[in-house]
Structure 1
Amino acid sequence: MSGNKRKTLKKTPTYIIGLDEILNGGLPHGRTSLIFGTPGNGKTVMGVEFLYRGAINGEPGIFLGFEETVKTLCENALTMGFDLSYLKKKNLIFLMNGQIEPDVIVSGKFSLKPLLSIISGKAKEIGAKRIVLDALDVVFGLLENPIQVRSELYQLNLWLMKLGLTTLITLKPREGYPGTLFQDYFYSISDCVIHLDVRQLDQVSTRRCRVVKYRGSDFGRNEYPFIITNKGIRLIPITKFDLRHKPFGERISSGIKRLDEMLGGGYQRASCILFAGEPGTGKTILASTFVTQMCKQNERVLYLSFEESPDAITHNVTSVGLNLERFLNSGKLLIYGTMPEATGVEEHLMRLFDKVESFSPQHVIIDAISACERIGGKEAAFDYLMRILNFLKEKGITVVLTNQTSGRKSQLEISGNGISSMVDTVIFITYVHGEKEVNRTIQILKARGSSHSNKIKGFRINDSGIEIYDI
């Protein structure tokens, strides 16, 4: 029946990492969108990147700025690798200063018409498909006559509709009249409204992006963290989980024969394995033994350490006969260490994402997840680990986690940070205190989708590695 027909809204991709996923394809094609936020939130950066990436993908664009000069804009954009001057020479981008002298406005002679007329001509000349109007609040904030404000807003809206380009407007909040007037007006004429803000918690600043409205389209309705890198903006759609985890693959060896037997044949490829235990029980050695086994099989391993430097890790495991240095030299192993307190969740996430994308490992070690709370508390640790595990599981990467416990066997204590649902195999190592000696034991607490031993075994670390024995 004709009454049941649906038409999908045409979209213009921004080509900004993560943003199009949140916008379900991009900004509304041929319509007006608004980016709203206080100074320093990344509004101009997002506008410039929208324009730049469009131009290099065959969609010429125009930038009309009312705050920064073209020279400053080009210099700032170049720090992210956006060569606007080159694109300008190629007639793929037109950049225009829109600064208005205050005395022109005071004299009552101000009008946007001359600027808009120039832009219209340039749009036809270069075949523009998209346009950015940056910091329009600067101009309208200088107008005091309500009639003039309404007139200019009306003329601008008519011009935008006639032009038919995909438009992105950036705006800062302004208190009092006429600020509230033009802010409300731009909200009403915009088909898509994006809020950007910056928050500081425990001395760590976090940028957030939220889509407030999108006419005719569904969109991600949560807040999404983002960072500004030397390659532009990157958003992390944390709450847009579709649970596209890869199924478990074949069995792979832990590097320890007796442990493989306890696990029913070894770890399952693409699963998440957790080593939990008190300090000094051998978690890092278990992880390094697995690293050695996989590298010997010509597979790549990425090792993230929150507690030791790469040099310290490679040196310490030599005491049990493990030589990780040779795998580093052969390019099969990449170790990088970072302090949890060094930056916020988003920066840590992006660093790991970038390492995974560039190194393409089959396996990732995170040592130790108990240090993640130092990134910004329990909530930050949970967010970080859930995003990381979801990302790695979607790629079918085997993940090995270590978690430092106090010796208790509670679920939260062992898995740490509330991520037990994402962990497939849990191996618990603990101390047994005798009268004259302290020994270690190992047991399998969980092995999803697999039979496993329920026996507690002895666990010994010697010069040739790990020995597991019956007790």
Structure 2
Amino acid sequence: MTTSTEPSTKALFGITGLDDILGGGLTRNRLYLLEGDPGTGKTTIALQFLLAGAEAGEVGLYITLSETKQELCDNATSHGWSLDKHLAVFELVPPESLFEESQQQSLLYSSDLELGESTRAILQAVKERKPDRIVLDSLSEIRLLAGGSLRYRRQILALKHYFAVQGATVLMLDDLTADVMDKAVHSVAQGVVRLEELTPEYGAERRRLRIAKYRGQRYRGGYHDFTIATGGAQVFPRLVSLEHKTAFARTQRASGIGALDALLGGGIEQGSSTLILGPAGAGKSLLAIQYVLAAVARGERAAMFVFDEELGILLDRTREMGIHLEALRDQGLLFLEQVDAAELSPGEFAHQVRRCVDTHAVKTVVIDSLNGYQAAMPQENALILHIHELLQYLNRQGAATFLTVAQHGLVGSMTSPVDLTYLADTVVLMRYFEARGQVRRAISVVKKRMGSHEDTIREYAIGSSGLTIGAPLTHFQGVLRGVPVYLGDATELGPAAD
């Protein structure tokens, strides 16, 4: 997202992805709400907000009503932060006299006294420190002390006007434990950021956020994945491919195997996507690797994101074919990443791919396989949209993308876990078939948007030297069904030609 506002006029969170979603940060001298259930990351993001201000020379004040100062400092220490050197922490706790019998009264509700005392303590702390940024944690305590929606709203309005006079940018935290239906602060706040935590049936928890409201400012809508690790929160903005158009020459790229290039009408175009379909063990990964090797031979960089196969096994079996992927990785020509589908959200994966392409000018990308990508989002209903935006983004960067999909079954009729044939620019089909008591392999191109391609079916073999593709199977009928009928001379039924 682009914005005409200079960054210096906004209060940055210090979290690149979140600042991008907000169109450059928060408008200064306004009140904002950061809400979410306990454990969603509100405190971590709030601390990063104050620390970003401290780095810019601004005074920060953290007012805590629920956590102790020591708990807050311990939380910061776990991320490698030191609060004492950067900002002030004001711990607002009930006076010890409230537990003494002599101080108990019955003419006034204790909440009436506590709310007034708490408010005066907050105002005094702000007056003494004159902060540029304030975090108030949390609104649940004030809501409980107010006792009613009307009084609670008036209290928030009073605080808002006081903070505005002081010229402070305020971030109020709400853990939604008191009354989740109370939207009083939503109407008062300039903007509302909502944090959510999802727990899949298997794997790590998933966190996401969305901007529920932001007055007078364009922002990136929808849900955005984020994670919390040592060092703070990382936000991965939802990928919008239309924002990333680049100019490039759409030239053909050969694979280095003459028969394969002939099958594809000369090669694969830059800025296009190729879907490789086939059963397990058919050689889909090896076919994609052939284009990786060809890209490196041209002096380009390539990237492989491996979901299914253990990286060590991949390196070992390709090394036996004379393909040294590890050496290419060590030279910085190939970026090889193992992706754990159970630990990675779709937004984080898209961010990894984008960072690799943008930072290292990668022109060939392999995602192996989409079955693993689908496993990364078992409860997502927008898999097709995620993949569509990622493919469109890579196409607009001039990258040739290869995606593999393992179909269910081995021979005959097979199904795919997800149908992406209409999204891909080229579709390559790999098949097993039986001939004279042997299991053999066949390859064909069933779709190619740009340029012509062969409509033949060729036999191929996988050996110690890698992939070998032979002549078209003109004497067979029914190869794609798995059990073909041979129509030629029996003496012609030999191994795949080189």
TM-score range, shorter chain: 0.7 to 0.9
AA matched with 2:300: E
Secondary structure (helix, strand or coil) at the match of 1:201 reads coil
Determine the structure 2 residue equivalent to 1:398: 400
Determine the structure 1 residue equivalent to 2:236: 236
Give, in whole Å, the separation in 1 of the partners of 2:406 and 2:469: 20
AA matched with 1:235: V
Give, in whole Å, the separation in 1 of the partners of 2:442 and 2:215: 60
Establish whether residue 117 from structure 1 lines up as the match of residue 120 from structure 2: no
| Shift in Å, 1:406 | 3.8
Secondary structure (helix, strand or coil) at the match of 2:15 reads coil
**Alpha carbons of 1:308 and 1:8: their partners in 2 closer, same or farther (altered >3 Å)?**
closer
Secondary structure (helix, strand or coil) at the match of 2:328 reads helix
Give, in whole Å, the separation in 2 of the partners of 1:69 and 1:396: 53
Determine the structure 2 residue equivalent to 1:195: 194
**Alpha carbons of 1:388 and 1:74: their partners in 2 closer, same or farther (altered >3 Å)?**
farther
| Shift in Å, 1:190 | 0.5
Runs of 4+ in structure 1 displaced over 6 angstroms?
A: 7-10, 145-148, 407-410
Q: Is the 8 A contact 2:144 2:178 kept in 1?
A: no
Secondary structure (helix, strand or coil) at the match of 1:372 reads helix
Which residues in structure 2 correspond to 1:23-38 (within 5 Å)? 23-38=22-37
Q: Is the 8 A contact 1:220 1:240 kept in 2?
A: no
Determine the structure 2 residue equivalent to 1:210: 210
Give ranges in structure 2 of 5+ residues lacking alignment.
Answer: 99-109, 473-498
**Alpha carbons of 1:148 and 1:368: their partners in 2 closer, same or farther (altered >3 Å)?**
closer
AA matched with 2:280: P
Deviation readout 1:365-394 (Å, 9 max, x if unpaired): 211112333224273754653454355445
Secondary structure (helix, strand or coil) at the match of 1:315 reads helix
| Shift in Å, 1:157 | 2.4
| Shift in Å, 1:60 | 4.1
Q: Is the 8 A contact 1:288 1:322 kept in 2?
A: no
Which residues in structure 2 correspond to 1:210-359 (within 5 Å)? 210-238=210-238, 240-242=240-242, 244-246=244-246, 249-346=250-347, 348-349=349-350, 352=353
Give, in whole Å, the separation in 1 of the partners of 2:66 and 2:461: 67
Give ranges in structure 1 of 5+ residues lacking alignment.
Answer: 1-6
Query: Structure 1 residue aligned with 2:172, among 163, 169, 173?
Result: 169
Determine the structure 1 residue equivalent to 2:486: none
| Shift in Å, 1:221 | 3.6
Number of corresponding residues: 450
| Shift in Å, 1:119 | 1.8
AA matched with 1:403: V
AA matched with 1:238: R
AA matched with 1:441: A
| Shift in Å, 1:232 | 2.5
Establish whether residue 437 from structure 1 lines up as the match of residue 444 from structure 2: no
Q: TM-score, normalised by structure 1?
A: 0.82
RMSD (Å), alpha carbons: 3.5
Secondary structure (helix, strand or coil) at the match of 2:323 reads coil
Determine the structure 1 residue equivalent to 2:138: 135
**Alpha carbons of 1:17 and 1:102: their partners in 2 closer, same or farther (altered >3 Å)?**
farther
| Shift in Å, 1:407 | 6.7
Query: Structure 2 residue aligned with 1:101, among 84, 88, 95?
Result: 95
Q: TM-score, normalised by structure 2?
A: 0.78
Q: Is the 8 A contact 1:192 1:215 kept in 2?
A: yes
Give, in whole Å, the separation in 2 of the partners of 1:384 and 1:398: 18
Give, in whole Å, the separation in 1 of the partners of 2:410 and 2:470: 23
Give, in whole Å, the separation in 2 of the partners of 1:423 and 1:81: 45
| Shift in Å, 1:24 | 2.9
Query: Structure 2 residue aligned with 1:160, among 159, 163, 188?
Result: 163
**Alpha carbons of 1:101 and 1:446: their partners in 2 closer, same or farther (altered >3 Å)?**
farther
Give, in whole Å, the separation in 2 of the partners of 1:151 and 1:267: 65
Q: Is the 8 A contact 1:431 1:441 kept in 2?
A: yes
Q: Is the 8 A contact 2:280 2:410 kept in 1?
A: no
Determine the structure 2 residue equivalent to 1:363: 364
Establish whether residue 454 from structure 1 lines up as the match of residue 470 from structure 2: no
Determine the structure 2 residue equivalent to 1:4: none
Give, in whole Å, the separation in 2 of the partners of 1:364 and 1:349: 12
Establish whether residue 69 from structure 1 lines up as the match of residue 68 from structure 2: yes
**Alpha carbons of 1:338 and 1:157: their partners in 2 closer, same or farther (altered >3 Å)?**
closer
Give, in whole Å, the separation in 2 of the partners of 1:22 and 1:236: 9
Secondary structure (helix, strand or coil) at the match of 1:235 reads strand
Secondary structure (helix, strand or coil) at the match of 1:187 reads helix
AA matched with 2:119: L
Which has the larger Rg? 2
Give, in whole Å, the separation in 1 of the partners of 2:325 and 2:331: 10
AA matched with 1:94: A
**Alpha carbons of 1:420 and 1:356: their partners in 2 closer, same or farther (altered >3 Å)?**
same
Give, in whole Å, the separation in 1 of the partners of 2:308 and 2:149: 61
Determine the structure 1 residue equivalent to 2:494: none
| Shift in Å, 1:101 | 3.2
Give, in whole Å, the separation in 2 of the partners of 1:403 and 1:294: 22
Q: Is the 8 A contact 2:411 2:431 kept in 1?
A: no
AA matched with 2:433: V
Deviation readout 1:402-440 (Å, 9 max, x if unpaired): 111247999x956x6344454222211112322333332
Give, in whole Å, the separation in 1 of the partners of 2:146 and 2:127: 24
Give, in whole Å, the separation in 1 of the partners of 2:361 and 2:67: 40
